[in-house]
């Protein structure tokens, strides 16, 4: 029998991801009629408080008492003060690295990716986390290939997933791997989860990364956001800030994680999303409003960023809008 260790680190702030993992694998064991995993909650303290003491988790064992485990699940962390959280979990970080050397597979849920990345095991690998934590993650771990459009990443027994309740898709993915497809489908039906969902792009809200010290780049961001319907020359924008185009691109990427053109595109598509969610404008009207005249170019870019065609996005999030549009 294998051992599944659900880690309960200090600074863990998501009761659902701990309870969810426990319930999914318990249900999988029962359905499979064989205890594929012995499931245990392990921590670095006897009790971890959540939500200002409203809830508490009492791990069954301490990680130092576990010599070997087969699968580790790292739940979501509070990401408002990640350096402090990581410092409080130095023992857990060392333990995860040791278990990996002994062959353990590791899965992080949402912002649990910060703890996993701090072990160095994600260096050069693809990783996902909650889209709202992407800027901070990229700042702390620039050597990780962050792809927040993905709900699940899988590289040689190291798994990560996107944000919030998308962790259920990761659990189903692991259940299918360790049990079988029938067990995963059963769990999907019991917990009413849309199985095989692969992207969190439709749920992403692009806010623009402005938590940086480059004042000229912040001015450029503000200009791009204030002139969405205009055709903007990036060469002229760079020149107006007395920056060479090459240096402008380099500084923009360093500050925001996007090239100037990518940033402009994401701002335009974010505005288009909001119009499609709440208004009654046609898709063509929305397209013109954000500065596009080429229908195919707009549709392709919208789908690339959101994972959905404009009409599908509108029909999904705006029930009051007409669904039969000639587009």
pLDDT at 274: 87
How much of the chain, in percent, has pLDDT values that exceed 70? 95
In angstroms, the CA 268 to CA 238 distance is 20
- pLDDT confidence tier of residue 324, bands split at 50, 70 and 90: very low
Residues 6+ apart with CB under 8 A from 316: 202, 308
pLDDT tens digits along 35-63: 899 999 999 999 998 888 889 999 999 99
12-36, pLDDT tens digit by residue?
778 999 999 999 999 999 999 888 9
Q: Which residues contact 71 (CB under 8 A, 6 or more apart)?
A: 2, 3, 4, 5, 37, 104, 105, 106, 107, 174, 178
For CA atoms 77, 79, 85, 87, the dihedral sign is: positive
Structural domains in the chain, sorted by start: 2-202 (3.40.50.880), 215-317 (1.10.10.60)
Q: How confident is the model at residue 203 (pLDDT cuts 50, 70, 90)?
A: low
Angle at 55 between CA 10 and CA 51, to 5 degrees: 65
Count the Cβ atoms, other than its own, within 10 Å of residue 165. Answer: 12
- Rounded mean pLDDT of 303-324? 80
Contact 287, 301 (CB under 8 A): no
**Beta pairing partners, 154:** 159
Predicted TM-score (pTM) of the model is: 0.69
Provide the CA 161 distance to its chain's centre, in angstroms.
6
pLDDT at res. 88: 92
How confident is the model at residue 327, as a pLDDT?
Answer: 45
**d(C-alpha 29, C-alpha 175), whole Å:** 10
How high is the pLDDT of residue 80?
79
Q: What's the burial of 52, exposed, middle or buried (CB within 10 Å: 0-12/13-18/19+)?
A: exposed
What pLDDT does residue 231 have? 85
pLDDT confidence of residue 326: 43
Closest to 6 in 3D by CA, of 92, 122, 131: 92
Please enumerate in sequence order all residues whose Cβ is within 8 A of that of 22, keeping only pairs 6 or more positions apart, or say none.
Answer: 6, 39, 41
Dihedral angle computed from the Cα positions of residues 266, 158, 144 and 97, in that order, rounded to the nearest 10 degrees? 150
């Amino acid at each position: 029998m294998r051992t599944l260790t659900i880690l309960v680190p200090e600074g863990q702030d998501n009761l659902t991801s701990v309870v969810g993992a426990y319930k999914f694998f318990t249900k999988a064991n029962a359905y499979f009629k064989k205890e594929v995993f012995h499931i245990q909650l392990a921590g670095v303290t006897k009790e971890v408080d959540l939500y200002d003491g409203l809830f508490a988790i009492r791990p069954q064992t301490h990680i130092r008492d576990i010599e070997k485990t087969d699968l580790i699940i790292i739940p979501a962390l509070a990401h408002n003060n990640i350096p402090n959280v990581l410092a409080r979990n130095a023992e857990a970080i060392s333990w995860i690295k040791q278990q990996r050397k002994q062959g353990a597979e590791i899965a992080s849920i949402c912002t649990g990716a910060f703890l996993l990345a701090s072990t160095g095991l994600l260096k050069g690998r693809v990783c996902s986390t909650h889209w709202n934590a992407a800027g901070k993650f990229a700042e702390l771990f620039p050597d990780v290939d962050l792809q927040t459009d993905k709900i699940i990443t899988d590289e040689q027994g190291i798994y990560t997933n996107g944000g919030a309740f998308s962790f259920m898709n990761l659990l189903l993915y692991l259940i299918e791997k360790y049990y079988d497809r029938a067990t995963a489908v059963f769990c999907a039906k019991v917990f009413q989860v849309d199985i095989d969902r692969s992207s969190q792009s439709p749920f992403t809200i692009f806010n623009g990364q402005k938590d940086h010290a480059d004042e000229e780049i912040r001015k450029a961001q503000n200009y791009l956001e204030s002139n969405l319907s205009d055709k903007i020359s990036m060469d002229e924008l760079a020149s107006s800030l007395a920056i060479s185009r090459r240096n402008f691109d380099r500084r923009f990427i360093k500050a925001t994680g996007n090239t100037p053109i990518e940033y402009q595109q994401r701002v335009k598509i974010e505005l288009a999303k909001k119009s499609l969610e709440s208004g009654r404008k046609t898709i063509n009207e929305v397209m013109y409003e954000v500065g596009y005249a080429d229908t195919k170019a707009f549709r392709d870019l919208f789908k690339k960023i959101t994972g959905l065609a404009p009409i599908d996005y509108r029909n999904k999030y705006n029930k009051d809008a007409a669904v039969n549009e000639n587009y």
